[in-house]
């Protein structure tokens, strides 16, 4: 049985990924700050299938301790799913809250590279795989995207850069860069369930299960195949973003 380490498994894409992988015969380390949600996952899927690791990804010491404390059955990580992340705010850069910017950089950039670095020796030893959930926001800009977009451009590109360093190790690396997925993402970003409902209404957005299916597909491909990047979008979203301002 193979083991996945899924960051941000208390909601959305991460939770769906744990459920999908476990249904396909994996065991998972599921991380997040909300312990009660991880406990519910364990109750649902079984303590032999899911190990809850409660920590804030911005706390490198806590991350290190959680990895060091993994029970033997969960310690050999074959797949890292770099998923924990968030956006905070949609204000234009000139009005944005600096604390929000710092939180996004700490979570989407610093924590993601720290977790990757900590698990790389195990992943190399086991010829494992890394899947990062980046975003279309890293490829196409939109108003108010600013630091979120920058952090996801980093995530997308860092993930591709890992391929070069891992050349010859057998470790597979994939950047999944989704468009709109209806999760708690927009509630977290705006603080408003109404804003979230308004954004997704009528869009027929992707679901967390859609992305989890892609993670599983990538992770279960024959070992000689590497998908470098996937950029899924809902049919009703596109990337035509040029505008002109008139004097
Ligand atoms: P959710 O808000 O539903 O889930 C986010 C997850 O990240 C939660 O489990 C949350 O856990 C975890 N997380 C956030 N901050 C921290 C932290 N400081 N420490 C530990 N865990 C943290 O959003 P999604 O499922 O949509 O987002 C998952 C990833 O997908 C993110 O990286 C996001 O940028 C990306 N993405 C999302 C898209 C979308 O449209 N929804 C599209 C493209 C990419 P907890 O709060 O319990 O700590
Ligand atoms: C989030 C996707 O399109 O809402 O990463 O910016 S989008």
Residue 46 falls inside a structural domain:
yes
Residue 190 falls inside a structural domain:
no
pLDDT in tens, 40-93: 999 999 999 999 999 999 999 999 999 999 999 999 999 999 999 999 999 999
Residues 133-164 as b/e (b if ≥16 CB within 10 A, e otherwise) read bbbbbbbbeeebbbbbbbbbbbbbebbbebbe
Identify the CATH number of the domain in which residue 167 sits.
Answer: 3.40.50.720
Does position 241 have pLDDT exceeding 90, yes or no? no
Reported as a pLDDT band with limits 50, 70 and 90, residue 237 is very high
Reported as a pLDDT band with limits 50, 70 and 90, residue 224 is very high
Identify the residue whose C-alpha is closest to ligand 1 atom 12. Answer: 8
Structural domain boundaries enclosing 169: 3-179+207-230
Q: Report how far ligand 1's centroid is from the alpha carbon of 14 (Å).
A: 7
Would you state the pLDDT for residue 74?
A: 98
Give yes or no for residue 180 CB within 6 A of ligand 2.
yes
Instruction: Write the CB contacts of 170 (distance below 8 Å, at least 6 apart in sequence).
Output: 127, 223
* Angstrom distance (rounded) from CA 60 to CA 138: 25
Q: Cα 74–222–173 angle (5° rounding)?
A: 65
Catalytic, out of 140, 142, 148, 200: 148
pLDDT in tens, 155-207: 999 999 999 999 999 999 999 999 999 999 999 999 999 999 999 999 999 99
Q: Is 148 a catalytic residue?
A: yes
How many CB atoms lie under 10 A from the CB of residue 2? Answer: 18
Residue 104 falls inside a structural domain:
yes
How many CB atoms lie under 10 A from the CB of residue 188? Answer: 15
Q: Report how far ligand 1's centroid is from the alpha carbon of 15 (Å).
A: 10
Q: Report how far ligand 1's centroid is from the alpha carbon of 133 (Å).
A: 9
Please, are residues 237 and 179 in contact by the beta-carbon 8 Å criterion? yes
Q: Could you give the C-alpha distances from 232 to 205, 212, 222, in angstroms and in order?
A: 11, 12, 21
How many CB atoms lie under 10 A from the CB of residue 40? Answer: 14
Residue 114 falls inside a structural domain:
yes
Q: 3-state class of 83 per DSSP? A: coil
The mean of the pLDDT values for the chain is 98
| Ligand 1 closest atom vs CA 179 | 42
Nearest to 134 by CA among 176, 84, 87, 182: 176
Residue 193 falls inside a structural domain:
no
Percent of the chain topping pLDDT 70: 100
Would you state the pLDDT for residue 126?
A: 98
The DSSP H or E segment spanning 61 is helix 60-68
Reported as a pLDDT band with limits 50, 70 and 90, residue 133 is very high
Residue 80 falls inside a structural domain:
yes
Residue 245 falls inside a structural domain:
no
Ligand minimally distant from the alpha carbon of residue 241? 2
Residue 161 phi/psi, 5-degree rounding, is -65, -30
The CA-to-CA distance between both ends of the chain, in Å, stands at 63
Identify the residue whose C-alpha is closest to ligand 2 atom 6. Answer: 137
Q: What does 131-143 look like in DSSP terms, one character per residue?
A: EEE--GGGTS--T
Q: 3-state class of 186 per DSSP? A: helix
Give yes or no for residue 234 CB within 6 A of ligand 2.
no
Reported as a pLDDT band with limits 50, 70 and 90, residue 32 is very high
Residue 87 falls inside a structural domain:
yes
The count of domains in the chain is 1
């Amino acid at each position: 049985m193979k083991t996945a380490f899924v960051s941000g498994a208390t909601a959305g894409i991460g939770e769906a990924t744990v459920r999908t992988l476990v249904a396909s015969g994996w065991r998972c380390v599921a991380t997040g700050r909300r312990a009660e949600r991880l406990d519910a996952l364990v109750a649902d899927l079984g303590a032999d299938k899911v190990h809850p690791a409660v920590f804030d990804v911005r706390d490198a010491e806590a991350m290190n301790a959680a990895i060091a404390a993994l029970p033997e059955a969960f310690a050999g990580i074959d797949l890292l799913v770099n998923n924990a992340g968030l956006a905070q705010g949609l204000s234009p850069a000139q009005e944005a809250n600096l604390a929000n910017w710092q939180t996004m950089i700490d979570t989407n950039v610093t924590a993601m590279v720290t977790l990757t670095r900590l698990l790389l020796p195990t992943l190399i030893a086991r010829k494992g795989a890394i899947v990062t959930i980046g975003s279309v926001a890293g490829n196409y800009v939109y108003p108010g995207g600013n630091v979120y977009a920058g952090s996801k451009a980093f995530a997308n590109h860092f993930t591709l850069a890992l391929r070069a360093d891992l050349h010859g190790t057998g470790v597979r690396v994939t950047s999944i860069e989704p468009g709109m997925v209806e999760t708690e993402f927009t509630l977290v970003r705006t603080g408003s369930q109404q804003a979230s409902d308004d954004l997704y209404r009528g869009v027929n957005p992707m679901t967390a299960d859609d992305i989890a299916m892609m993670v599983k597909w990538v992770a279960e491909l024959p070992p000689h195949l590497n998908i470098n990047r996937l950029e899924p979008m809902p049919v009703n979203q596109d990337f035509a973003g040029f505008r002109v301002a008139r004097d």
